[in-house]
Amino acid sequence: MALQIPPNPPSISPSQMNLLRIIASMAWSDGNLADEEVDLMLDRFSGMFAADAPQQDALRQELRDYLMQNIPLSELIPRLQTSAERELVLRLAYEVIHSSARTPDEDLVNADEAAAYRELVGLLGFAPETVERIQAEALTSSESGASLVELLSQQLEEFIHR
């Protein structure tokens, strides 16, 4: 059996990496995330966290290595340090699973996505009224017509620059 060497630590903070991993986990919950979507997410996120093109290229590869690791939500959620992080995760997860159906005949939120979202809500431990408020906020922002990746990167950027 070959020894697997973990990737080097990323050049973003552990908190930022945890947020990205949680959102990636939700995006992958239905087993369908196009390479183009991954590339676009990596482009946007590396642009937020790195100052110039060489740093962005290096960070892009680091993030790809980490995002391809499938870490259970039950390991990631306890690493959230603040209520603001927990609310951001819930909002972004809601936006991710409501972004599109895989086929025209499929429900907007399929069974796998709904199960992952229920698990996330349970792990976050919010009161029902808090969940409803955050979902309403997410719906309002998703009506802007922006793409999923644009919404995710906008929300993350606003959170990081608080």
pLDDT, tens digit, for every residue of 90-102? 988 888 777 655 5
Structure tokens at 38: 């991954």
Average pLDDT value for residue range 115-122: 94
First to last CA, the chain: 46
Helical pair 35-49 and 148-160, crossing angle rounded to 10 deg: 20
CATH fold of 14-160: TerB-like (1.10.3680)
Task: Give me the pLDDT at residue 144, please.
Answer: 62
- Return the minimum-mean-pLDDT range out of 5-19, 59-73, 106-120, 132-146: 5-19
Local structure of 97: helix, strand or coil: helix
Confidence of residue 13 (pLDDT cuts 50, 70, 90): confident
Per-domain residue ranges of the chain = 14-160
Using CA atoms in the order 144, 146, 149, 151, what is the torsion angle rounded to 10 degrees? -30
Local structure of 49: helix, strand or coil: helix
Average pLDDT value for residue range 124-134: 96
- Residue in the structure block whose two tokens are 């070959």: 2
Q: Decide which of 134 and 46 is more confident.
A: 134
Report pLDDT digits (tens) over 33-84.
Answer: 667 667 767 777 787 777 888 888 988 888 887 777 778 899 999 999 999 9
Smallest Cα–Cα separation from 80: which of 70, 93, 69, 68? 93
